[in-house]
Structure 1
Amino acid sequence: MGDRPTLVRPPPPDPNKAPIENVLEVTELAVLGPNIFTNTRQPWHPPGARGIYGGAVIAQSLASAQRTVPDDFMVHSCHCYFLLAGLAELPILFHVEKVRDGRSFATRTVQARQKGRCIFTTTISFVREGSGGSPANQVRHMIPMPTDAAGQPLQPPPDSFADEDEPELASMGPFQNYRIEVLNKDSPHAHEKKTRQWVRAKGKIAGGHQAHLNALAYISDSYFIGTISRIHRLWRFPFKVDDLDSLPRELQEQVRMLNDWEGMGNDPRDLRGRPEIGMMVSLDHTIYFHEPRKVHADEWMFTEMDSPWAGDGRGVVTQRIFSKDGTLLATCVQEGVVRLKDRPEQPGEATPSKL
Structure 2
Amino acid sequence: MADRPTLLRTPPDDPKLAPIENALEVTDLAVLGPNIFTNTRQIWHPPGARGIYGGAVIAMCLAAAQRTVAPDFLVHSCHCYFLLAGSSELPILFHVEQVRDGRSFATRTVQARQRGRCIFTTTISFAVPSSSSPETSTFPTHVSHASELPRGKDGQPLRPPPDDYTDEPELLAQGPFQGTQIEVVDDGASGKPGEKKTRQWVRARGKIAGGTPAQLEALAYVSDSYFIGTITRLHKLWRFPFRADEYDELPAEVRDKVRTLHQWEGMGEDPREMIGRPAIGMMVSLDHTIYFHEPRKVLADEWMLTEMSSPWAGDERAVVMQKIFSKDGTLLATCVQEGLVRLQQPAPEGKESKL
**Same fold judged by TM-score > 0.5?**
yes
Tell me what 2:149 maps to: 145
Given candidates 285, 291, 296, the residue that maps to 1:293 is 296
The DSSP-based 3-state class of the residue aligned with 2:125 is strand
Letter in 2 for 1:330: A
The unaligned stretches of length 5 or more in structure 1 are 347-355
Work out the CA distance in 2 between the residues paired with 1:171 and 1:57.
22
Letter in 1 for 2:198: T
* 1:69-80 equivalences in 2 (<5 Å): 69-80=69-80
Q: Is 1:180 matched with 2:182?
A: yes
Work out the CA distance in 2 between the residues paired with 1:171 and 1:111.
32
Tell me what 1:353 maps to: none
Equivalent residues of 1:167, 1:254 under 8 A apart: no
Tell me what 1:333 maps to: 336
Letter in 2 for 1:241: A
Tell me what 1:350 maps to: none
Equivalent residues of 1:29, 1:38 under 8 A apart: yes
Equivalent residues of 1:168, 1:254 under 8 A apart: no
Normalised by the length of structure 2, the TM-score is: 0.94
Quote how far apart the aligned CAs of 1:31 are: 0.2
Q: C-alpha offsets along residues 139-181 of structure 1, whole Å, 9 cap, x if unaligned?
A: 111111111012112111111123xx32344333210011111
Tell me what 1:223 maps to: 226
Work out the CA distance in 2 between the residues paired with 1:256 and 1:129.
46
* 1:217-296 equivalences in 2 (<5 Å): 217-296=220-299
Quote how far apart the aligned CAs of 1:130 are: 2.6
Tell me what 2:169 maps to: 167
* 1:1-355 equivalences in 2 (<5 Å): 1-130=1-130, 135=134, 136=137, 137-162=141-166, 165-184=167-186, 187-343=190-346
Quote how far apart the aligned CAs of 1:242 are: 1.1
Tell me what 1:351 maps to: none
* Mean CA deviation greater in 193-202 or 251-260: 251-260
Normalised by the length of structure 1, the TM-score is: 0.94
Count residues with an aligned counterpart: 343
Work out the CA distance in 2 between the residues paired with 1:182 and 1:267.
15
Over the aligned positions, Cα root-mean-square deviation in angstroms equals: 1.4
The unaligned stretches of length 5 or more in structure 2 are 350-355
The DSSP-based 3-state class of the residue aligned with 2:31 is helix
Letter in 2 for 1:76: H
Tell me what 2:352 maps to: none
Letter in 1 for 2:267: M
The DSSP-based 3-state class of the residue aligned with 2:47 is coil
Work out the CA distance in 2 between the residues paired with 1:117 and 1:345.
37
Work out the CA distance in 2 between the residues paired with 1:169 and 1:110.
34
Equivalent residues of 1:81, 1:285 under 8 A apart: yes
